Amino acid sequence: MNIGNQLGKLKKSDQFCIYLRKSRADAEAEKLGEGETLARHERILTELAVKLGLPIGKIYRELVSGETISARKEIQSMINDCYAGMWKGILVVEVTRLSRGNQGDAQIIMDCLRYSNNNNGVLVVTPTKVYDIVQSSDDEEYMEFELFMSRREYKMIRKRMMRGKLQAVVEGNYMGSYRPYGYDILKTKTGRTLVPNPEEAPIVKNIFEWTVKEHLTPGKICKRLTSLGVPTYTGSAEWAIGTVKTILTNPTYTGKVRWNDRMQTKTMVDGKLVKSRPRSNHTEQYMLYDGKHEAIVDEITFHAAAARFHSDKTKANLKLMNPFAGILICAKCKKAMIYQGYNKRPNTPPRILHKSSQICNVKSAMLKDVMNAVAHALELYIDNFEMKIDNLPNIDENSILSRLESLQKELIKQEKKLPKLFDAWEDGILTDDEFTRRKLVNKERIESIQKQMDHLEDSIPTRDEYEEKIMCLSDALKSLLDPTLDADIKNTYLKSIISSIEYSRDNNTEFILDVFLKDLMSISNSIGQ
């Protein structure tokens, strides 16, 4: 079908615009040397306009990669201009350039094409087809389906990318966009890793040693580095406290790589989608794996340094005495249980007591008894996860991944069938009834494949997750029972795995501890004093 014939009769006053948007796939293609995408698309559409005799009044160039319309200024401007009656039609290289957003975004596009120009609508012109959703219900259906498939493809691409990145991290590759101070990024045939920077790595070691051995605060470290003339990551002569804290809390320096340490959050602000990636220092929100790179500091030094300026400490120069600071609370009122030492009575063992005992009248307990109770609870958790591992079904993960790959190929194959169905219908090869029937079969097949993929993904064993929890629990247990470790280091280990410990005791009865792990159920543990 000649697309020139699809345009119908045009008025001299009819004006058209061109909309250009660069996709993620375009950016990857440019890296491979395929040339600048927007310039190529502009040339294609400009030549198309000349061929069809369409006057171009404006070219909208979207230079940002936004998932939603709210993040794309140019398409917002174009939509407003369409409603103002400026354009008879929009030229795009393909319909998917208009939107890959959610259903709401797709509806915004469809409403614009339908109701602009006093409900006369706006045409969409591509190199292969002209869409007139006001005059043709088939065009309307085709357009809606194209926008739907565009969103689906976008989600699939993101899902595949995330799977690939996670697998790369599991294999020990460094996936950060920027190098951490002290390292350089090294690209190999098997992935990306880090190598110590000969000038910066010794500085990183000094920062940790000054923190652990000299008990310097991040502020004092900044002053020392600045006075020594050591340049920062950016080459600045002056160091910031936040930079030092970032170094001291980054497990990359222990030879680890992390995943999801900066999870993307999405919030609506004044009707617009705002994305952010806040840095998290909480291990429940990210996963650690052994990296391919060389460690600059050992793990003991790392944890000892991190504990020195933990955010829960009340004073930077005050040594923490309570290993349960920030996590041990009263079960009744949820207020803190505090440490009570007896400096003037050295033979009196320290106790754990209520910060506001007059309110709840909760009896105290000896610190050593509370520590033993928590240690017992951690042992129960470890036994529980080991039992879960033993009871995992015998599933071949490789076969699951192979099946997923096969289904992925079949899904792509089925998705490619729909445009061919439309072409056959437009050429008169298929009747309306046959087209509708085949399109329905195609849709049902796509949905069936997706359900199978979702089921297989859910069936992958959680052995790695359990083993990771066991490792974290074991580290916390060892630190708690180690008499040579300071309370602040014990506290750091415990906070990495425990969200809270609820304490209760009435009169002279046994005290009860409910130990709550992060993102897990609680185990109640009672012990007599």
pLDDT digits (tens, 9 = 90+) for 51-92: 999 999 999 988 765 557 777 889 899 999 999 999 999 999
Residue 323 domain-assigned (yes or no): no
| pLDDT at position 88 | 93
Q: What is the pLDDT of residue 207?
A: 93
User: Among the three residues 461, 479, 502, which one is the final residue of a domain in this structure?
Assistant: 461
> Which residue, 140, 168, 196, sits at the end of a domain?
168
Going by pLDDT thresholds of 50, 70 and 90, the confidence category of residue 208 is very high
pLDDT at 457: 67
DSSP per-residue string spanning 383-407: HHHHHHHHTS----HHHHHHHHHHH
CATH assignment of the domain containing 274: 3.90.1750.20
| Residue 388 burial (10 A CB sphere; 0-12, 13-18, 19+) | middle
| Domain count along the chain | 4
Residue 400 reports pLDDT greater than 50? yes
Mean confidence (pLDDT) of the chain: 78
Mean pLDDT of 203-208: 94
pLDDT in tens, 82-120: 999 999 999 998 887 887 666 677 888 888 998 888 788
Domain that holds residue 246: 183-309
Do 123 and 196 reside in the same domain of the chain? Answer: no
192, 105: one domain: no
User: Contact 104/71 with Cβ under 8 angstroms?
Assistant: no
Do both 31 and 134 map to the same domain?
yes
| pLDDT of residue 3 exceeding 70 | no
Q: Which of the residue ranges 227-236, 271-280, 285-294, 361-370 would you say has the lowest mean pLDDT?
A: 271-280
Residue 401 CA: distances (Å) to CA of 77, 199, 215, 395, 460:
45, 43, 49, 11, 9
Q: Return d(Cα 146, Cα 482) in angstroms, integer.
A: 62
| pTM of the predicted structure, to 2 decimals | 0.37
Rounded CA-CA distance 384/372 in Å is 18
Same domain, yes or no: 511 and 368: yes
Residue 503 in domain: yes
pLDDT at 501: 92
pLDDT, position 459 = 61
Question: Do 214 and 297 fall within a single domain?
Answer: yes
Check residue 16 and give its pLDDT. Answer: 95
Residue 275 counted as domain residue: yes
Same domain, 289 and 157: no
- Is residue 198 included in any domain, yes or no? yes
pLDDT in tens, 225-241: 999 999 988 888 889 88
- Let me know whether 189 and 287 are in one domain: yes
Q: Where residue 154 falls among pLDDT bands split at 50, 70, 90?
A: low
Do both 250 and 195 map to the same domain? yes
Cα 110 to Cα 229, 278, 431: the distances in Å are 60, 35, 26
Please, which residues have CB within 8 angstroms of residue 483's CB and are 6 or more apart in sequence? Answer: none
Residue 394 has pLDDT above 50, yes or no: yes
What is the per-residue pLDDT for 184? 92
pLDDT-based confidence at residue 422 (cuts at 50, 70, 90): confident
Residue 411 counted as domain residue: yes
267 in a structural domain? yes
In a domain, 326, yes or no: no
pLDDT in the model for residue 45: 94
Q: What is the CATH number of the domain that holds 152?
A: 3.40.50.1390
Q: List the structure tokens of 227.
A: 């006075």
Q: Specify the higher pLDDT residue, 476 or 391.
A: 476
Among 1-10, 204-213, 336-345, 359-368, where is mean pLDDT lowest? 1-10
Note whether 46 and 94 are same-domain residues: yes
Q: Is residue 175 part of a domain?
A: no
**Is residue 205 located within the same domain as residue 248?**
yes
Higher pLDDT, 392 or 348: 348
Quick: pLDDT tens for 430-443.
888 888 888 888 88
Same domain, 411 and 355: no
- Looking at the structure, tell me whether residues 57 and 104 fall in a common domain: yes
